[in-house]
Amino acid sequence: MPDITDNDSLISYPQLISLTFDDSELNMNECQLILSLTPSLEHFHIVGGTNLNNGLCWEQFIQKKLLKLTKFEFAFCGDTNVIFKDSIQVESLISSFRTPFWINNKHWFVVCYYFKESAKYSLYSLPICKSKVRYYPHKDKISCSTYSNFYNDVSMTDNVHEMQLNLTDLMAHHGQDVENISISYTCFRKLNKLLLSIDNEWPIGSVEYLSTFIDLSCIVELLIRFDFDSQSVSNKLTNITHLLEQTSNLHTLTIDSSSASTENICLLVPNHIKHLQVSVNNSDDIKLIIEQLKHLSSITFEVLYDIKSLSTEFVTWLMEKTNESTYRNDNMILSIWFNNNNNQKI
């Protein structure tokens, strides 16, 4: 195999017009060396990498080596040596992307999110090309963009399909978010997967707040991570039910809670859910869920004990009850796919 640092030993690939790197660990020198071999490139997509946020370096390289490049999509992350306190300082992270080359010639725009608590930033080309993102409260976040209409152009986030957020942290700063909404509001209308974490009690008004920047009717997969305690059972049952009522097109639900009883799980799961993943303690829990939730097409159980101890009697019951549907027992995970015609015998 040729040495990547030996440019003379490498072969050019002029036939290549599109190139994608996901989860990249390339630095600028390595990236430019590879791209030097693709002079006909028209589309370049890269997520990840090290120290790739220098717009001037990209500008000079593209003008010299990638004359046919018309679409450049990227998502870069990094950190700063000092904590930035205002948008003027954060603006320095995107100043090299404000040249005539980026704005006037190529019409390539960027947005930068800076997270004060960690002194980290995320830099995206626009529209945002990353399909999975984590959402942070406005209090911890400063954003700036080279596109003046970014916060009003909802198409800028149409490539984002999965979001993870902590609902407790988000609602703890709800008041400040409302104050900042006019200057830093972003809508995600094409999300189809949502991963929610909740600490302690379910935050009041959180479902309504989510609906201000997420089209909940588009969510088809939902993961909820929480713990039940004696003081919050009723609160969480009520609010999770309310959320599920707003996600009318939801078909896949994961309940990530080792403390949720099977009775409460059965109360939560509405009829429009077709695929369920839950944690259970034993085969009795599995039996109860299968017997109660007959509308499901599949269930995945994370068994909190050695699944190999499932008895022959239980497997026999499972096959009889589920009308010879398919199951897989693999490393503490039991997955069952029901017969679609008649998934369970009554």
pLDDT in tens, the chain (346 residues): 445 455 555 688 999 999 999 999 999 999 999 999 999 999 999 999 999 999 999 999 999 999 999 999 999 999 998 889 889 999 999 999 999 999 999 999 999 999 998 999 999 999 999 999 999 887 889 999 999 999 899 999 999 999 999 999 999 876 554 444 444 456 899 999 999 999 888 899 999 999 999 999 999 999 999 987 767 788 889 999 999 999 999 999 999 988 888 999 999 999 999 999 999 988 889 999 999 999 999 999 998 876 665 677 887 888 787 776 888 888 788 899 987 654 454 3
pLDDT of residue 340: 64
pLDDT of residue 10: 64
Spatial neighbors of 312 by CB under 8 A, at least 6 apart, are none
Closest Cα partner for 165 from 219, 129, 102?
Answer: 219
Strands 162-166 and 193-197: parallel
SS3 for the chain is CCCCCCHHHCCCCCCCCEEEEEEEEEEHHHHHHHHCCCCCCCEEEEEEEECCCCHHHHHHHHHHHCCCCCEEEEEEEEECCCCCCCHHHHHCCCHHHCCHHHHHHCCCCEEEEEECCCCEEEEEECCCCCCEEECCCHHHEEEEECCCCHHHCHHHHCCCCEEEEEHHHHHHCHHHHHHHHHHHCCCECCCCEEEEECCCCCCCCHHHHHCCCECHHHCCEEEEECCCCCCCHHHHHHHHHHHHHHCCCCCEEEEECCCCCHHHHHHHCCCCCCEEEEEECCHHHHHHHHHHCCCCCEEEEEECCCHHHCCHHHHHHHHHHCCCCEEEEECCEEEEECCCCCCCCC
Distance CA(214)–CA(195), nearest Å, equals: 13
- Locus of tokens 């409302």: 178
Structure token pair of residue 70: 């018309």
- Locus of tokens 């995600």: 188
Distance CA(60)–CA(50), nearest Å, equals: 18
- Locus of tokens 């429009």: 272
- Contact indicator for 190, 161 with CB cutoff of 8 Å: yes
pLDDT of residue 8: 53
Closest Cα partner for 136 from 93, 172, 169, 87?
Answer: 169
pLDDT of residue 227: 84
Q: Is the pTM of this model over 0.85?
A: yes
Closest Cα partner for 26 from 98, 74, 87?
Answer: 74
CA 321 to chain centre: 36
Closest Cα partner for 97 from 138, 150, 152?
Answer: 150
Structure token pair of residue 328: 């897989």
- Number of Cβ within 10 Å of residue 109's Cβ equals 22
Provide φ and ψ at 165, rounded to 5°: -155, 155
- Number of Cβ within 10 Å of residue 291's Cβ equals 12
pLDDT of residue 6: 52
Q: What single-letter amino acid sits at 139? A: K
